[in-house]
Structure 1
Amino acid sequence: MEIDQIINTIFPLPELSKLNLIQHISEVSYSKGFCLMKANKIIPHIYFLKKGIVRAYASTENNDITFWFGTEGEPVVSMKSYVDEKPGYESIELLEDCDFYVLETEKLKTLFNEDIHIANWGRKFAERELVKTEELIISRQYKTALERYKDLIKEKPYLLQRVQLGHIASYLGITQVSLSRIRSEIR
Structure 2
Amino acid sequence: MDIEQIIDRIYSISESSKSLLLQNITEIHFPKNHLIIKADKIEKNIYFIKKGIARTFSFVGENEITFTFGKEGDTIISLKSYIENKKGYENIELLEDCQLFELKTENLQKLFLENIEIANWGRKFAEKELIKAEERLIFRQFGTATDRYIELLKNYPNLIQRIQLNYIASYLGITQVSLSRIRANIK
Counterpart residue number, 1:43: 43
Counterpart residue number, 1:100: 100
1:75, 1:138 → 2: CA distance? 20
1:35, 1:60 → 2: CA distance? 18
Counterpart residue number, 1:7: 7
1:32 shift after superposition: 0.2
1:69, 1:102 → 2: CA distance? 18
1:27 shift after superposition: 1.1
Answer yes or no: is 1:183 the counterpart of 2:183. yes
Q: Which runs of 4+ in 1 moved over 3 A?
A: none
1:62 shift after superposition: 2.1
Counterpart residue number, 2:155: 155
Q: Residue deviations 1:131-173, cap 9 Å, x none?
A: 1011111111112111110001100011211000000000000
1:68, 1:80 → 2: CA distance? 16
Q: Residue deviations 1:56-75, cap 9 Å, x none?
A: 00012221100000000111
Answer yes or no: is 1:56 the counterpart of 2:51. no
1:63, 1:130 → 2: CA distance? 26
1:158, 1:11 → 2: CA distance? 26
Counterpart residue number, 1:66: 66
1:62, 1:85 → 2: CA distance? 27
Identity %: 56
1:68, 1:132 → 2: CA distance? 10
1:54, 1:164 → 2: CA distance? 12
1:28, 1:6 → 2: CA distance? 16
**Helix, strand or coil for the counterpart of 1:66?**
strand
Counterpart residue number, 1:140: 140
1:3, 1:112 → 2: CA distance? 19
2:149, 2:91 → 1: CA distance? 23
The alignment of Structure 1 onto Structure 2 pairs a total of residues equal to 187
Answer yes or no: is 1:85 the counterpart of 2:106. no
**Helix, strand or coil for the counterpart of 1:64?**
strand
Counterpart residue number, 1:22: 22
Runs of 5+ in structure 2 lacking a partner? Answer: none
Counterpart residue number, 2:168: 168
**Helix, strand or coil for the counterpart of 2:33?**
coil
**Helix, strand or coil for the counterpart of 1:56?**
strand
- Greater Cα offset, 5-14 or 59-68: 59-68
